[in-house]
Copies of this chain bind each other. A is one copy, B any other.
Amino acid sequence: MKAKITLKDIARELEVSISTVSKALKNSEEISRDTKEKVQAFAKLYNYKPNNIAISLKNKRTKNIGVVIPDIVHHFFTTVIRGIEKYANARGYNVIVCLSEESFDKEVINMEMLANGSIDGFIMSLSSETQEKGDYNHLKEVTEQGIPVVLFDRITNEIDCDKVIIDDELGAYMATKKFIEQGKKNIALITTDDYLSVSKARTMGYIRALEESDLGVDERKVLKLPSMEMDEKSIKKFMDSQELDAVLCVNEIFAVYSMRLAQQKGLKIPEDISFIGFTDGLLSKYANPSLTVVSQHGEKMGEVSAKMLIDKVESEEEEETYQTKILEPTLVIRDSIFH
């Protein structure tokens, strides 16, 4: 086991000072060609690599970014992480992932763990419990300390920071309008309670599209589940209780599950009933029939978030100007609606 070599080791071995070694490795003008070559050769031979922790302590920069998200098993968050990771890595940053599991307490603990020097900034999406409580003091604390934060997807207006979202209202509007154009009359929405910022926006888009048409909104056609968790019973009950010819779902799982319920009733998709979901995951692609979705461009979102965060981290200025980037959703047409 050959332990890591330090500047001190090189200095001792070569009988020069630590400062000389440090400068020589940085190709400083101050050091003679001779010494530099000697030091560099020695360093290469023993595979010297500077200790990241020491550098972090000195620079007060860790080159780590903290990502706090509710869940990682959901396809959307996974793609966001991938976007963040790719971009951050390209700029020399590492990504520390923490899961809040939709819990307020875990979110707070995770942030506190990271906020004490472990990271240069946060990228996060709020847990449902946090959005439900409306308590954002942990975010305030962090931003007040001067740690940059980028909020994506599940955001709040109570915190001044950079934000990245897709236009959820528009996405739902587009989807609903599509149904209407295709002659659907009884268009349902399966979503969650309004405390989730995204669900609220999507519900608004759905309502706007219906109000613009002759159809109007029928409250019985809207199912609001308490959370993003699967709730087979409620969906089944909802689907059985009325005649529908189109269903917009706030995620792909709800959509695929309700498609199956429709199929079990002998309905044909998309002739008798059409479906659109949110999130362009594997499920949508390989469902039978394949599911038309509003794509949230998770990877792009991650990339944009990471760029905003790192730019802020590396900017010298203390300007406190924050922006909200709104990405355009796109409809990915598949076999669950008419082409």
A residues lining the B interface (CB < 8 Å) = 1-4, 47, 49-54, 56-57, 62, 64, 72-73, 75, 78-79, 81-82, 85-86, 89, 92, 94-99, 110, 112-118, 141, 144-146, 253, 256-257, 259-260, 263, 281-283, 286-288
The interface residues of chain B lying within 8 Å CB-to-CB of A286 are 253, 256-257, 260, 283, 287
Complex contact A96–B64 (CB within 8 A) = yes
The interface residues of chain B lying within 8 Å CB-to-CB of A64 are 96, 118
**A310 shortest CB reach to chain B, Å:** 16
Number of this chain's copies in the complex: 2
**A55 shortest CB reach to chain B, Å:** 9
The interface residues of chain B lying within 8 Å CB-to-CB of A49 are 112, 115-116
Q: Assuming the A-B contacts A145-B4, A288-B260, are A95 and B96 also in contact, with contact meaning beta carbons closer than 8 angstroms in the complex? A: yes
A97 CA to B95 CA in the complex, in Å? Answer: 6
Q: Which residue of B lies closest to A318 (CB)?
A: B1
The interface residues of chain B lying within 8 Å CB-to-CB of A75 are 73, 282
The interface residues of chain B lying within 8 Å CB-to-CB of A117 are 4, 51-54
Q: Assuming the A-B contacts A49-B112, A56-B53, are A145 and B2 also in contact, with contact meaning beta carbons closer than 8 angstroms in the complex? A: yes
Which of B2, B73, B256, B257 makes the CB contact (< 8 A) with A82? B73
Complex contact A282–B253 (CB within 8 A) = yes
**A206 shortest CB reach to chain B, Å:** 23
Complex contact B1–A145 (CB within 8 A) = yes
Query: 12 more A-B contacts (CB under 8 A) besides A1-B146, A54-B117?
Result: A1-B144, A4-B145, A47-B141, A51-B117, A54-B57, A72-B72, A82-B99, A85-B98, A89-B99, A94-B118, A253-B282, A257-B286
**A209 shortest CB reach to chain B, Å:** 27
A3 CA to B97 CA in the complex, in Å? Answer: 25
Report, nearest first, the 6 A-B pairs whose CB atoms are least far apart. A53-B117, A51-B117, A52-B117, A288-B288, A256-B286, A49-B116
Complex contact A144–B51 (CB within 8 A) = no
**A49 shortest CB reach to chain B, Å:** 5
Q: List 20 A-B contacts (CB under 8 A).
A: A1-B144, A1-B145, A3-B145, A4-B116, A49-B112, A52-B118, A53-B62, A53-B117, A53-B118, A54-B57, A64-B96, A64-B118, A72-B78, A73-B78, A95-B96, A95-B97, A95-B98, A96-B96, A97-B97, A253-B286
The interface residues of chain B lying within 8 Å CB-to-CB of A118 are 52-53, 64, 94
Q: Which residue of B lies closest to A112 (CB)?
A: B49
Complex contact B99–A51 (CB within 8 A) = no
**A146 shortest CB reach to chain B, Å:** 5
A115 CA to B3 CA in the complex, in Å? Answer: 12
The interface residues of chain B lying within 8 Å CB-to-CB of A110 are 89
**A247 shortest CB reach to chain B, Å:** 15
Which residue of A112, A114, A283 has the most chain B CB atoms within 10 A of its CB atom?
A283
Q: Assuming the A-B contacts A2-B144, A145-B2, A260-B286, are A72 and B53 also in contact, with contact meaning beta carbons closer than 8 angstroms in the complex? A: no
